[in-house]
Structure 1
Amino acid sequence: MATPDNPIQHNAHWQAQRPELINAYGELTALIEANASSQDLLDAYLRMKRLSASVFQSLLLASIPDHGAAWVAVRQSVEQRMQEKYAGLLPEWALKVPYGSAVHKQLFCILIDRQGAPVPGDYLRIVTADAVHAERRVRELRELGLDVIAAKASGNDTYSLDSARVNLAVVPTIVVNTVRANKKITEEERKRLQAIAEEGR
């Protein structure tokens, strides 16, 4: 399996799987032309769909420009503001910056590379091979303070990002949500910590 930030491995996977993908499309086409049974058609379609999702994911990941430094800067700016506002007032676990997965970074890199231009939701779903809700991950980038603009174009969902600037006013909300999500603390402790976090709003 290619690692999230290894375009060479992703490209190698794309190249290696192309013949199998061609065969899968050919098999499905042949079955359609032969007026095969519904079950045979559906089985071939699902195989082709799963393979396509994986192979085209590799093709896209191999082509995503590396904006890792900008992504690190985004997260560091949020972390710094958290520390400025809450260090010594809240436990460290409450001051962890969320949404740091490889998928979040990959989506950020696509959006910042196409800065200011709408990116179709269908395109972003290729990143996750349709296995994870890509639009939800994009909305989480907005929750992180990035100005992700959702819009419609020809009836389809699109997302655009004008810059890597972060709206740090969202930091208290991030911290409140982190506190609320912790199921290991008592309700009394949750309310106490939440009250402290909300004071920063």
Structure 2
Amino acid sequence: MNKQITLFSALAASLLVSFAAQAADTAELKVKGVIRPSACTPAFTGTNVVDYGTIAAKGLSATAPNVLAEKTIAFTVTCDAATKVAVRAIDNKASTVVPGLMTAINSNLGDKHAYGLGAAGGKNIGAYSVRTIVGSFTADGATPDIVADAANNGTWAKSTYGRFNADGTGRQAFATSGSTTPGSYKTMSGNLGVTAVLDKGANLPLTQNIDLDGSATIEVQYL
């Protein structure tokens, strides 16, 4: 080892003498990654599309928000081994949200819960909300409590409604019933609820077909 160090030092000294008068531009290469004991995959069962079908324009209110019925979609997180995870939902169409519509569903809701439904004829169509349906989930065969970390700081509290924030702030996890500490599970399955609200008809181009075009990314975070 000492010989190797001496040889390197001598070589380095030689290089310094040879190139002392030359300037050098540099670029840093970094190599990063995470080795995890297990990986988890979020998935929808059967389809990832919440389909409201054909909505008759003549049935829409021209003067008030139009609340559509809640639709459910089966959702599962599967891990290679029991793993502690959280879930969040991020809006991919945030620029198309019509402000103020979520209060038509619930006076306690606001724009932070609103996901965009796309646009048509230069007009934003409306908004929708996404929630975990509390009580519908199982975690390794047991019924867990849904707990939420609203500030992303590790402070968890039981969630009574499971509403996601559209900007990805806040997250939800699964805990043993009666606990607020996220637990480790291999399979977590249940239903997400989606409720769409269309803007009042007077603001929509109802003389043409209007395609609802919402999109959100469901993300699993390892705790």
Instruction: Give the TM-score band, short-chain normalised.
Output: under 0.3
Higher RCO (C-alpha 8 Å, min separation 6) = 2
Q: Give the TM-score of the pair, scaled to structure 2.
A: 0.24
Q: Say which one has the larger Rg.
A: 2
